[in-house]
Amino acid sequence: MGDHQGFHQIELKLYMPEKIPEDCIGKIKDLFASESPAQIPQKITNLLQLYDRFNIDIAVTGESGSGKSSLINVFLGLSPDDVGAAQAGVVETTMKATMYQHPNFPQVRLWDLPGMGTPSFNSKSYVKAMNLESYDMFIVVISERVRENNMLLVDTISQQKKPFYVIRTKIDNDMRSQRRKRNFSEANALNKMKEDCEKYLKEKNLDNPVFLVSAHEPLNYEMPRLMDTFKNEVPQIRAELFVSFLDKIFHRWFTAGYATQHAQKTGKIQAEDVANLHSMYKETGFGAVKVKAVLDSLNHFQLDVAVLGETGSGTSTLVNALTRMEKDMYGAASAFIGNPAVSSEYQGVRFWDMSGIEAFMTSMYEMKQNLRDHDFFILIVSDWQEARHVKLAKAVMELRRHFLLVQTKIDCHLRAQGDLCCAETEMLDGLRAQYTRKLQRAKLLEPQIFLINSLDRDGQDFMVLESALAIELDAIRTIAFAHYIEKILRNSTETCPSSMAW
């Protein structure tokens, strides 16, 4: 076995898996081999800025009263009475589609189409009048049972070879009425309904996904699965659309004019951005194939968040609370340092429990070596220990990353100070001011400070922490990705270490 001599000189390097899959790495290395790595971040951020303004149009269609508007509100995360919500339960009077922008994905435009089967439209004229060819994807809403109109829509859409979901809604109603039957079993009833919908698709050799949902009970039936599928697939569909658009305008002169016109007419992209795309191609040579490799990698890219703090400060509890993992659940954060927590709450993010590393990593150099692949930091303090916490914060700052300061177990602190009988908000403000002074004294950049109890997500700053974290992670994703690609290219072309700073 190993020679343990000189153990103290061996630098401890924790294992961190790649942030994108091996095949993406291979493609990037092949396609960008001749690029100068130093220029890659700028080129990629320019490309992604343009991509950020490219819209995808999703039509929500079906019969009048089938529940389209109610479903859109679930997608938007709004109640029917909220500002900006689609009006549900109203008799359709307009012939025009209404657009709703997804709050988390502003480039995803949901179109509430007038219902089929109103006096203004019979089925054939509907298909024509709705300009179905201007949409990129469809959601066909069905309630009660599959009707001829629904199949006509499915036929038309499938001929266009565009992605679509079939959504059977108002399942709560179905279940309520069927419950009266003898031998009722919810599972059997749902299976039967699913088979009914799928039967029609199979007859047409289609295997599009079918979801059984209720807009009135968004946590039940297949609404959660629908939301997850949507969140996962739509960014990919949008990326494919963009690449196919670039292919048409860069590489196929005979389709370029039409594609440009169509995209501008439907508002998928602005005229000046089409011009920007052309100059990007001229200057960087990023054509459709290279852009596809970049977007594929970006869709898989994992941001790494390290949670630092003294052992026992509540790191695992916080990670579990953020990722919605219950204690002892499979996948819940354990003391095992090499096992990141992931969750659909933060897609493309890995949370690393790194509590206590400052205790066994003796030098600043060693600590930085082990933190340099992390993109963002949460510094947990349960009891402030000047030397320890300042050392951690310095390491993060020297890596030129950002961190949030989180005081955990705030309930215990409040209880301990309870004798002073001042209001909770005063105590919290006092604590925040104390931390600010401490950090200023140590000449550290002032991070945002959150005072939380990880076991009470509704209390104190927990929700503010969640939204601040989401905003921070969103803000660094592109730049972290661009530098990661640079690093991959550097590693394959040079032997010298990549630049750590971004």
Ligand X SMILES: Nc1nc2c(ncn2[C@@H]2O[C@H](COP(=O)(O)OP(=O)(O)O)[C@@H](O)[C@H]2O)c(=O)[nH]1
**Residues in 206-235 that interact with ligand X by CB under 6 A:** 214-216
Instruction: Compose the 161-200 pattern: x for residues touching ligand X by CB under 6 A, - for all others.
Output: --------xx-xx---------------------------
Nearer to ligand X, 168 or 374 (CB): 168
State the number of binding residues for ligand X (CB under 6 A): 18
Verify binding: residue 41, ligand X, rule CB under 6 A: no
**Contact partner at residue 172 from ligand X, Mg ion, none, CB < 5 to 8 Å by partner kind:** ligand X
Q: How far is CA 230 from CA 19, 110, 169, 217, 226, in A?
A: 23, 12, 16, 18, 6
Lookup: tokens for 473: 């992670």
For the chain, how long is the longest CA-to-CA vector? 87
Work out how close the CB of 82 gets to Mg ion at its nearest, in angstroms, rounded to a whole number: 16
* Given 61, 70, 149, 302, the residue binding ligand X (CB under 6 A): 70
The C-alpha atoms of residue 399 and residue 235 are separated, in whole angstroms, by: 31
Work out how close the CB of 112 gets to Mg ion at its nearest, in angstroms, rounded to a whole number: 6
Binding region for ligand X (CB under 6 A) out of 57-65, 344-352, 379-387, 416-424: 57-65
DSSP track, 318-382: HHHHHTTPPTTSTT---S-TT--EEETTEEEEEEEE-TTHHHH--SHHHHHHHHTT--EEEEEES
Verify binding: residue 89, ligand X, rule CB under 6 A: yes
Verify binding: residue 67, ligand X, rule CB under 6 A: yes
**Contact partner at residue 417 from ligand X, Mg ion, none, CB < 5 to 8 Å by partner kind:** none
Work out how close the CB of 100 gets to Mg ion at its nearest, in angstroms, rounded to a whole number: 11
Secondary structure letter of residue 63 according to DSSP: B
Lookup: tokens for 279: 């100059």
Work out how close the CB of 493 gets to ligand X at its nearest, in angstroms, rounded to a whole number: 56
The C-alpha atoms of residue 71 and residue 107 are separated, in whole angstroms, by: 19
Work out how close the CB of 393 gets to ligand X at its nearest, in angstroms, rounded to a whole number: 50
Specify whether the CB–CB gap between 408 and 452 falls below 8 A. yes
Nearer to Mg ion, 69 or 156 (CB): 69
Q: How far is CA 241 from CA 21, 56, 235, 308, in A?
A: 22, 8, 10, 40
**Residues in 225-284 that interact with Mg ion by CB under 5 A:** none
Cα 186 → chain centroid: 32
Instruction: Compose the 48-87 pattern: x for residues touching Mg ion by CB under 5 A, - for all others.
Output: ---------------------x------------------
Where would I find the beta strands (DSSP E) of 370-461? 376-381, 403-407, 449-451
Work out how close the CB of 113 gets to Mg ion at its nearest, in angstroms, rounded to a whole number: 9
Binding residues for ligand X, per CB under 6 A? 62, 64-70, 88-89, 115, 169-170, 172-173, 214-216
Binding residues for Mg ion, per CB under 5 A? 69
